Amino acid sequence: MPKQWRFAPHDQGAIKRLTKEMSCSPLLAQVLAARGIESKEQALKLYTTQMKDLHDPGLLPGVEEASDRMIAAMKSQRRITIYGDYDVDGVTATSILWHCLKLAGAKVDYYIPCRLEEGYGLNLEAIRTLHEEDPDRLVITVDCGICSLKEAALAKELGLELIITDHHTMLDELPDAATNVHPRLPGSEYPFKELCGAGVAFKLAWAVCQKLGDGTKASPRMREYLKSAVGLAAIGTVADVVPLIGENRIIVQYGLSTLLDKSMTGLSMLLKVANLDEQKELSAEDIGFGIGPRINAAGRLGQARLAVELLTTENRQRAAQLADYMDQLNKDRQKVERKIYKQAKEQIEENPEWLESGALVLASEDWHPGVIGIVASRIAEKYERPTIMIAMNAESGIGQGSGRSFHGYDLHSGLSACSELLEAFGGHKAAAGLRVKSEQLDDFRQTLGQIALEDNSSDSAQPELDVDAEVTLHDLTHRAVKELDWLGPYGAAHRRPIFSASNIELVEPPKKMGGGERHLSLRVRDGSKVLRAVAFGKGEWADEMQEAITGPFSICFTTNMNRFRGYETVELKLVDWQPSVQHSKIRST
Q: Identify whether the C-beta of residue 371 lies closer than 8 Å to the C-beta of residue 344.
A: no
Give the per-residue pLDDT at 567. Answer: 80
User: What is the distance, to the nearest Å, from the Cα of residue 410 to the centroid of all Cα atoms in its chain?
Assistant: 17
Residue 43 to residue 17: CA distance in whole angstroms: 12
User: What is the distance, to the nearest Å, from the Cα of residue 175 to the centroid of all Cα atoms in its chain?
Assistant: 26
What average pLDDT does this structure show over 300-322? 94
CATH topology of domain 468-587: OB fold (Dihydrolipoamide Acetyltransferase, E2P) (2.40.50)
User: Residue 94: is its pLDDT beyond 60?
Assistant: yes
Give the per-residue pLDDT at 300. Answer: 84
Residue 172 to residue 29: CA distance in whole angstroms: 46
CA-to-CA separations, 25 to 22, 44, 117, 413, in angstroms, rounded: 9, 16, 54, 44
Pick from 197-201, 286-290, 428-432: least confident = 428-432
Binned at pLDDT 50, 70 and 90, residue 583 comes out as: very low
User: Residue 401: is its pLDDT beyond 60?
Assistant: yes
More confident residue, 134 or 588: 134
More confident residue, 408 or 126: 126
Q: Identify whether the C-beta of residue 553 lies closer than 8 Å to the C-beta of residue 578.
A: yes
Give the per-residue pLDDT at 463. Answer: 73
User: Residue 581: is its pLDDT beyond 70?
Assistant: no
Residue 469 φ then ψ, to 5°: -165, 145
Residue 402 to residue 423: CA distance in whole angstroms: 14
Residue 492 to residue 287: CA distance in whole angstroms: 13
Give me the half-sphere count of Cα atoms (radius 13 Å) on the Cβ side of residue 320.
Answer: 3
User: What is the distance, to the nearest Å, from the Cα of residue 272 to the centroid of all Cα atoms in its chain?
Assistant: 22
Residue 422's contacts (CB-CB under 8 Å, 6 or more residues apart) are 415, 434, 435, 436, 440, 444
Task: Look up the CATH architecture of domain 53-258.
Answer: Alpha-Beta Complex (3.90)
Which region, left, alpha or beta, applies to residue 413 given φ > 0 means left and ψ of -120 to 50 means alpha? alpha
Is the pTM for the entire model greater than 0.85? Answer: yes
Residue 253 to residue 146: CA distance in whole angstroms: 28
DSSP string of 438-463, one letter each residue:
GGGHHHHHHHHHHHHHHHTGGG-SPP
User: Residue 59: is its pLDDT beyond 50?
Assistant: yes
* Helix, strand, coil fractions of the chain, as percent rounded to 5: 50, 20, 35
CA-to-CA separations, 80 to 130, 134, 200, 310, in angstroms, rounded: 11, 10, 18, 20
Q: Give me the percent of the chain exceeding a pLDDT of 70.
A: 96
In DSSP terms, 508 is beta-bridged to none
Residue 85 to residue 116: CA distance in whole angstroms: 13
324-333 per-position pLDDT tens digit: 999 999 999 9
CA-to-CA separations, 89 to 85, 95, 200, 205, in angstroms, rounded: 7, 10, 10, 15
Instruction: Give Rg (Cα) of the chain.
Output: 25
161-204 per-position pLDDT tens digit: 999 999 998 989 999 999 999 999 999 999 999 999 999 999 99
Binned at pLDDT 50, 70 and 90, residue 461 comes out as: low
Domain extent listing, the chain: 53-258, 351-459, 468-587
Query: 566: burial class by Cβ within 10 Å (0-12, 13-18, 19+)?
Result: exposed
Residue 404 φ then ψ, to 5°: -130, 145
Q: What is the CATH number of domain 351-459?
A: 3.10.310.30
User: Residue 265: is its pLDDT beyond 80?
Assistant: yes
Number of H helices, E strands in the chain: 21, 19
What average pLDDT does this structure show over 404-422? 92
CB atoms near residue 117 (< 10 Å) = 9
More confident residue, 261 or 229: 229
Structure letter (DSSP) for residue 491: B
What average pLDDT does this structure show over 115-129? 89
Q: Identify whether the C-beta of residue 494 lies closer than 8 Å to the C-beta of residue 244.
A: yes
Residue 6 φ then ψ, to 5°: -110, 115
Residue of 249, 253, 210 whose CA lies nearest to 231: 253
User: Residue 116: is its pLDDT beyond 60?
Assistant: yes
User: b/e string for 389-427 if b means 16 or more Cβ within 10 A?
Assistant: bbbbeeeeebbbbbbbbbeebbbbebbeebeebbeebbb
Instruction: Give the 3-state secondary structure of residue 490.
Output: coil
